[in-house]
């Protein structure tokens, strides 16, 4: 029996909503999309093209026929009959709450899955008539390629909704990570923000350029993170005695302290200019669209390599292909 939704509604077709659309239709799910922007279709098309290009190169199993999709004129029309409602509207609490009011007026039982990158589900649930069906399903860009989705329930979320969501996102070829404790920004964004804060200070203080910081990640720790994360990596770095020795040896350094995590540098126009200009220089004439294709090609190559070793995201891909072959 399939755990996929019969019909999904996607509210907001920007970077994330379009990515969800690509992933859902690639699993054969029919979708209705609502976005008030006049150029919504033009925003969606390149994402679907990129996603198809990536899936064709990545997935080594028969893929189902694409799900039908259409842009519709209202939230009510989009959510009618939907058993999964993907909320990907801008990161503003008032906009999200207004969206839930419109959903509740037109749909009483679909799962409402917010893509928010920071709001706790209990905060999103405030004022809802039926909050038990709302979860956070926080994805990562590009949604059509990165498997992680953080699943977080609020105080009012029904346990059965979490269970259903875990099965559904698994069948979409993803790695749903159920976070049992809700905190602002969940787990992955907390980790990324710590790195981002340090990076901003390093640029502001003139210690390193954006290029040098990106090189420090991509030639070293980034390669390790993609396959083992941080704890297993440091467990190995402790030698035969593993993590215990690692912590004895490097734990004291945490007290010195090296980091500036508590503060954020003020985003002065000078700092924004410096970061923006260095990022453009680094891109070396490539537009963000050009970089997107390079990013996707590299992600496909990395995922295929990890499929070969059966590690992490590669195992998720292998399991997805096995499910597709079994259909």
Ligand X SMILES: C[N+](C)(C)CC(=O)CC(=O)[O-]
Closest CB to ligand NAI among residues 19, 321: 19
Which of these, 301, 304, 322, lies nearest to 314 by C-alpha position?
304
d(CA 224, CA 181): 27
By CB under 6 A, name the one of 119, 140, 144, 246 that touches ligand X. 140
Distances (CA, A) of 175 to 112, 145, 222: 19, 11, 20
Token pair of 119 as six digits: 């709001």
Between residues 27 and 116, which has the closer beta carbon with respect to ligand NAI?
116
Draw the binding track, 153-192, toward ligand X (x: CB under 6 A; -: no contact): ------------------------------------x--x
Closest by CA to 5, choosing from 61, 77, 74, 86, is 86
User: Which of ligand X, ligand NAI, none lies near 189, with the C-beta cut-off 5 to 8 A by kind?
Assistant: ligand X
The DSSP annotation for 2-60 comes to: --S-SEEEEE--SHHHHHHHHHHHHTT-EEEEE---TTHHHHHHHHHHHHHHHHHHH--
Quick one: which of 46, 64, 81, 90 contacts ligand NAI (CB under 6 A)?
Answer: 90
Both tokens of 218, joined, read: 């991509």
Beta carbon nearer to ligand NAI, 72 or 324: 72
Cβ partners under 8 Å of residue 43, min gap 6: 13, 14, 18, 35, 37
Q: Which of 18, 107, 117, 157 binds ligand X (CB under 6 A)?
A: 117
Residue 13, contacted partner among ligand NAI, ligand X, none, CB below 5-8 A by kind: ligand NAI
Q: Which residue has the tokens 């700092």?
A: 271
138 vs 164, which CB is nearer to ligand NAI? 138
State yes or no: residue 144 binds ligand X (CB under 6 A): no
The residue within the footprint of ligand NAI, chosen from 35, 150, 296, 321 (CB under 6 A), is: 35
Task: Draw the binding track, 109-138, toward ligand NAI (x: CB under 6 A; -: no contact).
Answer: ------xxx--------------------x
Residue 16 touches which of ligand X, ligand NAI, none (Cβ within 5-8 Å per kind)? ligand NAI
Q: Which among ligand NAI, ligand X, none contacts residue 116 (Cβ within 5 to 8 A by kind)?
A: ligand NAI
Site membership for ligand NAI, residue 141 (CB under 6 A): yes
Binding site as annotated, residues for NAD(+)? 12-17
Q: Which does 88 bind (CB under 5 to 8 A by kind): ligand X, ligand NAI, none?
A: ligand NAI
* Chain position whose Cβ is nearest to ligand X: 117
Nearest partner of 37 among 90, 114, 112, 107, judged by Cα: 90
CA atoms within 13 A on the CB side of 87: 29
Q: Is 44 near ligand NAI (CB under 6 A)?
A: no
CB count in 10 Å sphere of residue 177: 17
Q: Which is nearer to ligand X, 83 or 193 (CB)?
A: 193
Say if residue 69 is preceded by a cis peptide, omega within 30 of 0: no
CB atoms within 10 A of CB 62: 9
Whether the CB-CB separation of 20 and 139 falls below 8 Å is answered with yes
Question: Under the rule (CB under 6 A), what is the footprint of ligand NAI?
Answer: 11-17, 34-37, 88-91, 95, 99, 115-117, 138-139, 141
Question: Under the rule (CB under 6 A), what is the footprint of ligand X?
Answer: 117, 140-141, 189, 192
């Amino acid at each position: 029996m399939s755990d996929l939704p019969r019909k999904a509604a996607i509210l907001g077709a920007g970077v994330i909503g379009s990515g969800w659309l690509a992933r859902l239709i690639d699993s054969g799910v029919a979708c209705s999309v609502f976005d008030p922007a006049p150029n919504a279709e033009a925003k969606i098309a390149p994402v679907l093209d990129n996603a198809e290009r990536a899936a064709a190169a990545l997935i080594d199993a028969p893929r189902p026929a694409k799900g039908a999709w259409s842009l519709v004129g209202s939230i009510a029309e989009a959510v009618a009959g939907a058993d999964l409602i993907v909320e990907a509207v801008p990161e503003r609490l008032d906009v999200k709450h207004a969206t839930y009011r419109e959903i509740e007026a037109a749909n009483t039982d679909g799962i409402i899955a917010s893509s928010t990158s920071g709001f706790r589900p209990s905060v999103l649930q405030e004022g809802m008539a039926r909050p038990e069906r709302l979860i956070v399903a926080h994805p990562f860009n590009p949604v059509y390629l990165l498997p992680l989705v953080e699943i977080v329930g609020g105080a009012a979320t029904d346990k059965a909704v979490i269970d259903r969501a875990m099965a559904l996102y698994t069948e979409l070829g993803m790695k749903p990570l159920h976070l049992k404790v809700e905190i602002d920004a969940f787990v992955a964004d907390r980790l990324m923000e710590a790195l981002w804060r340090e990076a901003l200070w390093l640029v502001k203080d003139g210690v390193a350029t954006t290029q040098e910081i990106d090189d420090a990640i991509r030639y070293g720790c980034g390669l390790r993170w993609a396959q083992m994360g941080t704890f297993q990596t440091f467990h190995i770095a402790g030698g035969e005695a593993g993590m215990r020795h690692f912590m004895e040896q490097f734990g004291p350094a945490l007290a010195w302290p090296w980091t500036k995590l508590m503060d954020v540098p003020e985003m002065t126009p000078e700092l924004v200019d410096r970061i923006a200009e260095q990022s453009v220089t680094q891109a070396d004439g490539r537009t963000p669209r050009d970089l997107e294709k390079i990013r996707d090609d590299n992600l496909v190559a990395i995922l295929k390599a990890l499929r070969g070793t059966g590690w992490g995201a590669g195992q998720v891909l292998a399991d997805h292909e096995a499910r597709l072959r079994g259909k």
